[in-house]
Chain A
Amino acid sequence: MVDVPFDTTAGIPPAEVGEVELYHPKSWWTRYVFSQDAKVIAIQYSMTAMAIGMVALVLSWLMRLQLGFPGTFSFIDANQYLQFITMHGMIMVIYLLTALFLGGFGNYLIPLMVGARDMVFPYVNMLSYWVYLLAVLVLAATFFVPGGPTGAGWTLYPPQAILSGTPGQDWGIILMLASLILFIIGFTMGGLNYVVTVLQARTRGMTLMRLPLTVWGIFTATIMALLAFPALFVASVMLLFDRLLGTSFFMPTLVEMGQLTKYGGGSPILFQHLFWFFGHPEVYIVALPAFGIISDLISVHARKNIFGYRMMVWAIVAIGALSFVVWAHHMYVSGMHPYFGFFFATTTLIIAIPTAIKVYNWVLTLWRGDIHLTVPMLFALAFIITFVNGGLTGLFLGNVVVDVPLSDTMFVVAHFHMVMGIAPIMAVFGGIYHWYPKVTGRMLDETLGRFHFWVSFLGAYAVFFPMHYLGLLGMPRRYHDIGETSFIPASAHDLNAFMSVAALIVGFAQLVFLFNLVWSLFKGKEAGGNPWGGASLEWQTPETPPGHGNWGKELPIVYRWAYDYSVPGAARDFVPQNEPPAGLAAQGSRP
């Protein structure tokens, strides 16, 4: 690789203005509500996702109250407990994390980081948000319909999802499926934008290998989501047919309340295949953007270039591809051919290789770096620790022989909360603390941020570490009340009470965070354009917050990768991506 086609001497004119036809808002409504500006859409996505996320947080409180102090809260009965589980899981995974990472971070950061003026299809992008909002409203409506929301579990397994024993059988399940279908339609519109923007709208000099890893993560996750969500779509439509039209795609012949149902001949296993063909990539749809964000955060706050950039990119692509061939490891207890189990256990464990490469690279980026323990950095470090924790228990559960006894216990709950609950949320918080100054022009309050971090981090461990132990004891998941069980000692109940108290405290810490978001908007310290000394393009905008069209008259030209920190001999400890090389600047070839 000696004769790479680059040229350090010739000045290349910046891309002309007006390449992208920008839509110019004419009124307050089109500027702030029905806006086609990706930055406004990103904020709309984020606020909607956080609002519905607060509902899911309250649901988790209610569940913990019941688990920690069974029998004390008479307003939580077994049906409601199942409804809380279902809605908590569904909201957190799809309506909060997926929407926040791709719709929120994706919309805000992709155009800025690749040096574009906006997404390539702004109108479709706006439509994407409004369809998403509709999906959220339909979901929220299930709390108010007769029978309440569905209690089928977030996996919505038939046949029980649509039989009369399950809460929410009347309206809850119908609206839930309708909401999912809407979400997928809305997401597809947004996803097309993210992919084509990365492919087509990169500014001059921005090759793929100069993209910040955040963009790589979001880009790959979006492609995966575009290909995986159709599986959920197909499953939802077919389940809706079973519920509404009486077809039997998934419904076997069975007896309900002593009577033979009208169903017959369907295959519940088919639903599980379809669901997990979406469900497993979904884990990485949430994890890959987090990986990208963490890579950038670590590099900026340790003032050091990311270690092994190429490997990081390859690992992201490899994880994206592999995640489509592991889905059946969620179905070890569904009665599979043993060779299938063997195959899927193997592919599952192979994913550990690219993932471990990423973890090593993060650690080696930190090695002898100039680590600033800012709030975003604290969250990034917490992410790495938590992800390793959750990943290791994933190795346990990826093996068929270990998974079979553990699969219906709290161990699984602890595992997936660590790996795709706490870890991505840490990345979300880190990302928000990091980019909030760019979005608003003001810093988030440092003291409140540290308080938020330590309570959330230690609190989350107080909730989920003991849960592994309870799982190994054999405490089953999805149970409203364990009652007197011979193999569960009394001390386990004390532990449950402790975890519940910790969960309540963690929840309240999030209110502090929300307060900080609002308070800092008005009273926060002025941030300036580039408070962290970031080298990637989003910190180099002429205005902060970036104006409509992101850049001034000319699009930036990119001369280097996004990670030139602490370069020997450089004037500052970072070199922005759009700063011309020394020779070029001396000639004054820029007009």
Chain B
Amino acid sequence: MSAIILFMAGVAVIAGWWLSQQRLAAKPWLEEGVIVDLREHDSSSLPAAKIGLGVFLAVVGSLFALFISAYSMRMTMVDWRTLPVPALLWFNTGVLVLSSVALQWAYMAARRNDMDGVVLGLLGGGALAVTFLAGQLLAWRQLSAAGYFVASNPANSFFYLITAVHGLHLIGGLVALGRAMFRLRHGAEAGQMRLSVELCAIYWHFLLLVWLVLLGLLTGWTDNFVDICRQLLT
């Protein structure tokens, strides 16, 4: 359970930092009058949707941290045999990186109010994400053709499960991307548009980060790091 404990510690640090700015030592029974909220002073106060996305990413992060915990716990048992990772995954990773870059580009274009750039970035990012998903499916086909079925070994089961969950999250992201495109076509207001594109880009970067961590885990690159974490906590 070391991965999830580390993740929760991270969440706790962020929550603690935020709470420390909320005047929790105030004595509300003595304070009468309008306390002007920190929120109102802050000109860069975040829109609700962005905070909502942040909280959602914490939930998704916790989900993946738990999968990683389960994986690393199972990995220590004696009969563990790692799955040979298909080379196609490296290509897929590259595609996902490009997809993230395209969305970042769309976001930068939105900040310049360059609507053509936004459309191009969103379309490119979406197409690359679909390519990534297709590549993942192909990797599954290759594995099962080589005799690595979902139920034949715990490492296989984890591989299929974790890639499936990651893919599902990306499909959810594509739905949000589709909505942003739809709004763009129907002439949404510029500020609203910028926010939608920004949220998509953040979500994409997050899923890319998750994928890199998962890839490191599935290919065994991070085994040493996992060992260190385990020793720290036991």
Chain A residues near B (Cβ < 8 Å): 1, 4-8, 10, 12, 120-121, 188, 191-192, 195-196, 199-202, 204-210, 223, 226-227, 230-231, 233-234, 237-238, 241, 245-249, 262, 265-267, 270, 273-274, 277, 305, 309-310, 313-314, 317, 321, 324-325, 557-561, 563-564, 581, 584
**B1-59 CB contacts (< 8 Å) to partner A:** 1, 4-5, 8, 11-12, 15, 19, 22-29, 31-40, 46, 48-49, 51-52, 55-56, 58-59
Q: Which residues of B approach A to under 8 Å, CB–CB? A: 1, 4-5, 8, 11-12, 15, 19, 22-29, 31-40, 46, 48-49, 51-52, 55-56, 58-59, 62-63, 66-67, 69-70, 73-74, 77, 79, 150-151, 153-154, 157-158, 161, 165
Query: Across the interface, do A247 and B150 meet the contact criterion of CB distance under 8 Å?
Result: yes
Beta-carbon contact of B55 and A120 below 8 Å: no
Complex formed: what's the CA distance from A200 to B40 in Å? 10
B173 to chain A, nearest CB (A): 16
Residues in A with CB closer than 8 Å to B34 are: 6-7, 10, 12, 204-205, 557-559
CA distance A227 to B79 in the complex (A): 32
**Can you give 16 contacting A-B residue pairs, CB < 8 Å?**
A4-B23, A6-B35, A121-B49, A121-B52, A191-B59, A202-B39, A204-B34, A209-B28, A210-B28, A226-B59, A230-B59, A230-B63, A230-B66, A231-B62, A241-B161, A559-B32
Among all A-B residue pairs, the 8 with the closest Cβ atoms: A561-B28, A247-B157, A8-B33, A230-B63, A246-B151, A120-B48, A234-B66, A200-B48
Query: What 7 additional pairs, Cβ within 8 angstroms, besides A237-B161, A274-B66, A559-B34?
Result: A6-B31, A192-B52, A199-B51, A200-B39, A201-B48, A273-B69, A305-B29
Shortest Cβ distance from B176 into chain A, in angstroms? 12
Residue of A nearest to B80 (CB): A265
Q: Are B70 and A4 in contact (CB under 8 A)?
A: no
Asked whether, in the complex, the Cβ of A249 is within 8 Å of the Cβ of B154, the reply is: yes
Q: How far is it, in angstroms, between the C-alpha of A407 and the C-alpha of B25 when the chains are bound? A: 41
User: Are B35 and A4 in contact, CB atoms less than 8 angstroms apart?
Assistant: yes
Residues of A within 8 A of B5 (CB): 325
User: Which of A8, A199, A230, A245 has a CB less than 8 Å from the CB of B32?
Assistant: A8
- Do A120 and B32 touch (CB < 8 A)? no
Known A205-B34, A245-B150, A247-B157: A234·B63 in contact at CB below 8 Å: yes
Q: How far is the CA of A196 from the CA of B12 in the complex (A)?
A: 17
Q: Which residues of chain A are near B22, meaning CB under 8 Å? A: 207-209
Partner of A274, one of B27, B70, B153: B70
Q: Which residues of B contact A209 (CB under 8 A)?
A: 22-24, 26, 28
Residues of B close to A581: CB separation below 8 A: 32-33
User: Which of B33, B48, B67 is within 8 Å of A234, CB to CB?
Assistant: B67
Asked if B52 contacts A245 (CB within 8 A), the reply is: no
Across-interface contacts of A188 in B (CB, < 8 A): 56, 59
Q: Tell me which of B33, B38, B165 contacts A7 (CB under 8 A).
A: B33
The verdict on A204 contacting B37 (CB below 8 Å), with A226-B55, A238-B70, A277-B66 known, is yes
Q: How far is it, in angstroms, between the C-alpha of A238 and the C-alpha of B71 when the chains are bound?
A: 11
Contact present for B23 and A208 (CB under 8 Å): yes
> CB-nearest residue of chain B relative to A199?
B51
Residue of A12, A227, A249 near B36 (CB, 8 A) is: A12
A561 to B31 Cα, complex, angstroms: 8
**B27 pairs with A317, CB closer than 8 A:** no
Within the complex, the shortest CB–CB distance from A233 to chain B, in Å, comes to 6
Chain B residues near A227 (CB-CB < 8 A): 8, 11, 58-59, 62
**Nearest opposing residue in chain A for B47, CB measure:** A200
Q: Which residues from chain A contact B158 at a C-beta distance below 8 Å?
A: 249
CA distance A191 to B59 in the complex (A): 10
Q: Which residues of A contact B27 (CB under 8 A)?
A: 1, 310
In the complex, are the beta carbons of A277 and B32 less than 8 A apart? no
Which B residues are CB-close (under 8 A) to A559?
32-34
B24 and A313 form a contact (CB under 8 A): yes
Residue of B whose beta carbon sits closest to that of A560: B32
Residues of A contacting B28 in the complex (Cβ-Cβ under 8 angstroms)? 207, 209-210, 309-310, 560-561
Contact A266 B37 (CB under 8 A): no
Please pick, from B49, B70, B154, the residue contacting A265 in the complex, using a CB distance under 8 A. Answer: B154
Cα–Cα, bound, A12→B33 (Å): 10
CB atoms of B154 and A248 under 8 A apart: yes
A residues in contact with B32, CB < 8 Å: 6, 8, 559-560, 581
Contacts of A266 in B (CB 8 A): 154
Residues of B contacting A584 with CB < 8 Å? 33
